């Protein structure tokens, strides 16, 4: 009898996708999500394990460790960045528990853009030219900004859930952004050159020198069609990026991933867990835009279903530094996020979520959702759910997703209509 149990930390669409992927494994008997959301709960079926939620917060490390021990959880997978930056991996390892993610020190690769830039520079990895300023250096930053070519990129030097980047095209816009970040929010800031090229994301599992390639995806950060509006946590995504071939993957490994992880080993901050490289192919070559130290949301929701390799086997191989063949479907995956009006700024919650009987619930990854009573799900966040589809082409995926979205009714919401439209 299979008794392997998994714990996923988090509550959003990314964590729902991870839970589904583990639940589909023949090795897994039960998947727990802490704290999860009630729309994730899925009774055990012939083809998958049960998915249940446990009401423990993502930074309640003592309770999480106790739950893992009491329930003999074999693997814990951390979804969001906040518990990583707070040291959840350090705590679990101290307790002798298997967990997937970087230590607090290594998670600085995402949590501190200054740390990441320093690692890249010392590793000889191409990234945009930049200057960093702490909150006491507003005058110096303002002077530097006034002499910088436009457009210019300003980044909050800390965790911002994908929303801490401002691309300013005018002096007034740049100065306003700088004042907001440094004066109002008292944040350190990175000011860097604006690069042009084709952006994409690359994901792999890293255990010091051991690397398992997961794949590529393209996400859409701006709130509205044609990349207009504010940066969000992500409004949709598709995978794979078909112009990224094996030669380019090899280049990513040899010129970016391997030099960075080797430098981190040399500097006593060895990396383990998911490494997400936000990349841009420019006329001057391949550049790193940013690193994240966990799976992306919404990329996870469409990337993981393309894996034909058993996800438990894959993550077990990662933990044990074992070789494994990673097989991908020949399909494409695409997903579109339905968000509350006003997101990523102020928005309402509590809107009723209604799905037609013909809506394929298995194609939805739920995120900002709670149960109002015994039957009704209502919204409980900016990003409410993501509709996903697989198909033989991006156009097939688009057709499927947008037809399915018509079967979802949530008042006061919006979604982008151009996800997957490529040149």
Q: How far apart are CA 392 and CA 400, in angstroms?
A: 11
Confidence (pLDDT) at 63: 98
What pLDDT is attached to residue 48? 82
Say if CB 164 and CB 224 are below 8 A apart. no
CATH number at 4-100: 3.40.50.20
What CATH number does the domain located at 197-320 have? 3.30.470.20
C-alpha 386/C-alpha 361 separation (Å) is 11
Beta carbons within 8 Å of 246's beta carbon, 6+ residues apart: none
- Residues β-bridged to residue 53: 33
Which pLDDT score is estimated for 161? 58
Per CATH, the number for 333-414 is: 3.90.600.10
Question: What is the model's pLDDT at position 162?
Answer: 56
Looking at the whole model, is its pTM more than 0.75? yes
Superfamily of domain 129-193: ATP-grasp fold, A domain (3.30.1490.20)
pLDDT at 163: 58
Cβ pair 350, 378 in contact under 8 A = yes
Longest Cα–Cα distance of the chain, Å, equals 67
DSSP H helical ranges for 153-214:
171-179
User: What's residue 349's pLDDT?
Assistant: 97
Identify which of 83, 85, 47 has the alpha carbon closest to the alpha carbon of residue 65: 83
Which residues, given as ranges, of the chain have pLDDT below 50?
none
Residue 159 has what pLDDT? 72
Q: What is the pLDDT of residue 373?
A: 76
Q: Would you state the pLDDT for residue 417?
A: 97
State the first-to-last Cα distance of the chain, in angstroms, to the nearest integer: 50
CB hemisphere CA count around 246 (13 angstroms): 0
How is the chain split into domains, by residue range?
A: 4-100, 129-193, 197-320, 333-414
Question: What are the CA-CA distances from residue 19 to residues 48, 68, 87, 245, 330 (Å)?
Answer: 10, 16, 22, 29, 23
């Amino acid at each position: 009898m299979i008794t392997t149990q998994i714990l996923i930390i988090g509550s959003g669409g990314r964590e729902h996708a991870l839970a589904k992927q583990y639940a589909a494994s023949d090795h897994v008997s039960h998947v727990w999500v802490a704290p999860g959301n009630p729309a994730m709960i899925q009774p055990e079926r012939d083809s998958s394990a049960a998915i249940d939620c446990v009401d423990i917060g993502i930074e309640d490390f003592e309770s999480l460790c106790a739950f893992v021990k009491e329930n003999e959880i074999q693997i814990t997978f951390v979804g969001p960045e906040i518990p990583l930056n707070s040291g959840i991996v350090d705590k679990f390892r101290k307790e002798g528990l298997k967990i997937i993610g970087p230590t607090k020190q290594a998670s600085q690769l995402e949590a501190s853009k200054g740390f990441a830039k320093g690692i890249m520079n010392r590793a000889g990895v191409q990234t945009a030219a930049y200057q960093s300023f702490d909150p006491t250096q507003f005058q110096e930053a303002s002077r530097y900004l006034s002499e910088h070519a436009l457009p210019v990129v300003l980044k909050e030097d800390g965790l911002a859930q994908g929303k801490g980047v401002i691309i300013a095209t005018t002096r007034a816009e740049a100065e306003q952004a700088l004042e907001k970040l440094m004066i109002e929010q008292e944040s350190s800031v990175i000011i860097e050159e604006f690069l042009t090229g084709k952006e994409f994301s690359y994901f792999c599992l890293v255990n010091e020198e051991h690397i398992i390639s997961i794949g590529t995806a393209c996400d859409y950060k701006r709130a509205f069609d044609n990349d207009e509006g504010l940066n969000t946590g992500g409004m949709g995504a598709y995978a794979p990026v078909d112009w990224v071939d094996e030669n380019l993957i090899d280049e990513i490994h040899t010129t970016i991933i391997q030099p960075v992880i080797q430098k981190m080993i040399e500097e006593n901050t060895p990396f383990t867990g998911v490494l997400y490289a936000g990349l841009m192919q420019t006329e001057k070559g391949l550049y790193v835009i940013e690193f994240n130290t966990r799976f992306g949301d919404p990329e996870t929701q469409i990337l993981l279903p393309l894996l034909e390799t058993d996800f438990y086997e894959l993550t077990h191989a990662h933990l044990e530094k074992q070789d494994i063949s990673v097989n991908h479907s020949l399909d494409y995956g695409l997903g579109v996020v339905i968000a509350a009006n006003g997101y990523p700024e102020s928005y309402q919650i509590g809107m009723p979520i209604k799905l037609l009987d013909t809506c394929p619930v298995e194609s939805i990854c739920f995120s900002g959702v709670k149960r109002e009573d015994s039957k009704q799900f209502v919204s409980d966040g900016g990003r409410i759910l993501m509709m996903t589809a697989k198909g033989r082409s991006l156009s097939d995926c688009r057709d499927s997703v947008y037809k399915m979205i018509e079967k979802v009714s949530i008042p006061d919401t919006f979604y982008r209509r151009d996800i997957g439209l490529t040149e």
